[in-house]
Homo-oligomer: A and B are copies of this chain.
Amino acid sequence: MGTPESKPDPAATAASRPLATTITLRQPYLLFLGDASHASRAKTALGIRDWAPETCAGQLRLADCAVDLELPELTPAQAAQQGIGSLLIGIAPIGGQFSESWLPTLFAAVEAGLDIVSGLHAKLGDVPGLADAAKARGVRLIDVRCPPPGLPVGSGRKRSGKRLLTVGTDCALGKKYTALALTRALRAQGIDADFRASGQTGIMISGTGIPMDAVISDFTAGAAECLSPDAAAGHWDIVEGQGSLFHPAYAGVTLGLVHGSQPDAMVLCHEPGRSHIWGYPDFPTPSLQTAIEEYERAARLTNPKARVVGIAFNTSMLDDTERAQLLADTERELGLPCFDPLKSPLDAVIRNILSL
């Protein structure tokens, strides 16, 4: 487990049990790259290729496409014939709209019997004629930014099984990748564990989940309860965190996710050197000690045993010596396993988790 510099093995990402009140995608995917002029426009496809290669069965590119994932080039009809379930839009066009040039592909996918999966702001159902075509063909148009219908209000009822939630001093510093890496490491030890996605990229990777940031606020904790349902006593759900309790815009989402997840364990994610909330220069990031105290205080409303069991650093901007120094210093200071989920072994934090 935890080979430095490695990406997770494929089997670690797909959820073993689909959930009832969640988005559930038909995998594997035909990745649609459109006319992407540069890899930076195909971040969705690249993320899925890296973290869930077993779900990537082919690519479909238009004439001007400059990105190549080195997957088999397939038409929608060929993809359907091979058992591929969905055409996944793997690019983010400027403005978030569907390009005119994509429409023949989208209709061909529906005609071939594929679902279409999109994370764009524009809705698939707003493409004229596409919803009718999908209905007639019996396939689904899935906007992963839209929560599933029927989410309940939180119950606060204690659920069976174990849960870990990744939490952060800020947004966008590695909560998803930390959860993916922990899931992989637990599975590598033979532990029954599932990654539970709370954001759109995570949902595409695992094929199931709920986009927490798009849930109506009254149902946030209830959605989090749906995301990690009752499970066997030894099972671990590894829940992808969102936002930060220290964020002036998003702390409410974070608190609902903390309460509904009822985490037994939390891993605190941080990026060294980030002195303030990204985009909010008047709001300093908290000290790690303060963050640990606040997350434990918040989580104990629904799980009195909740505790932080490790600290994940995004050290992409440090060299090896600096990284080793930072991890060792922080471990000594706080008495918790410290690691970079993409660069260091996870043995110590996994031991800590399994000791609960």
Contacts and interface: CB of A to CB of B under 8 A. Distances in A.
Interface of A: 153-157, 212-218, 220-222, 246, 248-257, 259, 280, 282-283, 301-302
A257 B212 CA distance: 18
The 8 closest A-B pairs by CB, nearest first: A252-B256, A156-B248, A154-B249, A213-B218, A252-B252, A220-B252, A217-B217, A217-B253
Contact of A213 (B217, B255, B280): B217
A248 B280 contact: no
Residue of A214, A248, A252 most packed against chain B (CB within 10 A): A252
Given A153-B249, A154-B248, A156-B249, A256 B301 contact: no
25 contacts: A153-B250, A154-B248, A154-B249, A156-B249, A156-B280, A156-B282, A212-B217, A213-B217, A213-B218, A214-B217, A216-B216, A216-B217, A217-B253, A217-B256, A220-B252, A221-B248, A221-B249, A221-B252, A251-B255, A251-B259, A252-B252, A252-B254, A252-B256, A252-B259, A255-B255
A66 B282 CA distance: 58
A222 B302 CA distance: 27
Nearest to A156: B248
**How many copies make up the complex?**
2
A14 B64 CA distance: 59
Contacts of A157: 282
Given A214-B216, A217-B252, 14 more contacts: A153-B250, A154-B248, A155-B248, A156-B248, A215-B217, A216-B216, A217-B253, A218-B249, A221-B249, A221-B250, A248-B302, A251-B301, A253-B256, A283-B301
A153 B280 CA distance: 12
A238 to B, nearest CB: 21
A321 B48 CA distance: 68
Contacts of A215: 216-217
Nearest to A213: B218
A253 B157 CA distance: 19
Contacts of A246: 301
A250 B250 CA distance: 15
Contact of A156 (B218, B259, B283, B301): B283
A278 to B, nearest CB: 12
